[in-house]
Amino acid sequence: NAGVTQTPKFRILKIGQSMTLQCAQDMNHNYMYWYRQDPGMGLKLIYYSVGAGITDKGEVPNGYNVSRSTTEDFPLRLELAAPSQTSVYFCASAGQADYGYTFGSGTRLTVV
């Protein structure tokens, strides 16, 4: 049981480049989330999904996009990378009747 798997673990992007952060869970959880973690700022919600085909914006969605074509996968897309997107990104999932999140190991992204 892998839980929540995030890839890649590290990435350096140049300004203006695009990339997709992958997130997959094998727990059949309906709810999936993307957070970014900045030093001293806690975790801020970027996007979330309550089921396949349904996504919604969180607190800081600008510059990002998501899709949820399957229950298992919830990729996060950065279209035009900016230095302000340098952060650690965490994906998380939760079951329908479960209030505890399971987190992935994170992706450390640096935009230069």
Partner 1 sequence: AQRVTQPEKLLSVFKGAPVELKCNYSYSGSPELFWYVQYSRQRLQLLLRHISRESIKGFTADLNKGETSFHLKKPFAQEEDSAMYYCALSGPTITQGGSEKLVFGKGTKLTVNP
Which residue ranges make up the site for partner 1 (CB under 8 A)?
A: 31, 33, 35, 40-45, 48, 50, 56, 58, 90, 92, 94, 99-106
Count of Cβ atoms closer than 10 Å to residue 9 Cβ: 10
User: Which pair of tokens denotes residue 50?
Assistant: 């309550």
Q: For residues 81 and 89, which CB has a smaller minimum distance to partner 1 in the complex?
A: 89
Q: How far apart are CA 64 and CA 57, in angstroms?
A: 10
**Do the Cβ atoms of 36 and 87 come closer than 8 Å?**
yes
Q: For residues 29 and 81, which CB has a smaller minimum distance to partner 1 in the complex?
A: 29
Structure-token match 């957070």, residue found: 35
Q: Rounded to the nearest whole angstrom, what is the least distance from the CB of residue 99 to partner 1 in the complex? A: 5
Q: For residues 57 and 70, which CB has a smaller minimum distance to partner 1 in the complex?
A: 57
Count of Cβ atoms closer than 10 Å to residue 76 Cβ: 21
